[in-house]
Amino acid sequence: MSQPAVTASRLTKRFGDLVAVDEIDFELEVGECFGFLGPNGAGKTTTVRMIHAVTPITAGDLVVLGLRVDREPAAIKRRLGVVPQEENLDPDLTPWENLLVFARYFDIPRVEARRRAAEFLEFVGLTPRAGSPLDELSGGMKRRLLIARALLNQPELLVLDEPTTGLDPQARHLVWQRLRTLKAQGVTQVLTTHYMEEAARLCDRVALMHAGRILRQGRPADLVRAEIGEDVIEIRGDEALHRAALALVDGRTLGREQTGDTLYLYCADGRALLPTLSGLRPPHLLHRPAGLEDLFLKVAGHSLQE
């Protein structure tokens, strides 16, 4: 088997007294999409910035594409593509010009740079806007241009830091489509996101982060099934209603969480419990499939403060 694309062991990053990343371990396999999930301040961005050799590690070991980040950062950067959280395109240049200027950083010959720029503008659906002023592009178009820019050096690993933050649903789905296409072409991806739906749609495996630590990692469906079950029932009401509901389903659920006025019941078969709970006439009763958001709320707590 080929060696992992990324291997981290007891990886740590401190900023003074702040421990941003606290002795985490993970491996990223070649050809997969691996996601770091969590709220703002969880350590996701710091982790990926260490992966693409922008933020120095404080302690531990981090190997990217067979190279140690503390010894060969320049060699690593040449083999990566990065879509940053912040939009950092040159506002004075058109999309076409942005790509050609960026290609110079990798010493790509001009003829080849023009070929790749045309190819990747077409890939992200921006060929008609290649010569437009940048301020005429929507937020979604700029995110797609950042993806095109990250592909110019034909990277072995694509790093995506909150790739769809701030986008409307249509633009978000278009970016997801492009990323799925890249993965099908064999491009290894690592991304950070606080959108659980995004992770479920894109990632082969995920690591749930909170306060600099990895709480759980694995395949999304496996993690949800192991921690939550198949279904979730939401019951909204006062404390008395919650106590009555718990008494009715005692021993028939896999777990529960409560936040504010909502009780969450984790079940193997939630539909079987609905007739019993309906008799309480709660103001809000919802039965739905379990998902990554339920998993994160369970392991990190409903009272997270970002």
**What's the rounded Cα separation, in Å, for the pair 155 and 78?**
8
Cα–Cα distance between 71 and 91 in angstroms, integer?
A: 34
Amino acid at 258: Q
pLDDT for 305 equals 43
Q: Is 132 in contact with 95 (CB distance < 8 Å)?
A: yes
- Whether the CB-CB separation of 153 and 81 falls below 8 Å is answered with yes
pLDDT at position 298: 84
d(CA 259, CA 85): 30
Separation of alpha carbons 86 and 71, rounded Å: 27
| CATH architecture, range 229-290 | 2-Layer Sandwich (3.30)
Q: What is the pTM assigned to this prediction? A: 0.89
Weakly modelled stretches of the chain, pLDDT under 50:
303-306
Q: How far apart are CA 261 and CA 248, in angstroms?
A: 18
Report domain extents, the chain: 1-79+157-218, 82-154, 229-290
Other CB atoms within 10 Å distance of the CB of residue 39 = 15
Please determine whether the domains at 1-79+157-218 and 229-290 fall in the same fold group of CATH: no
Distinct helix (H) and strand (E) counts, the chain: 11, 14
Q: Which CATH number fits domain 1-79+157-218: 2.40.30.20, 3.90.850.10, 3.40.50.300, 1.10.3720.10?
A: 3.40.50.300
Cα distance between residue 270 and residue 252, in whole Å: 9
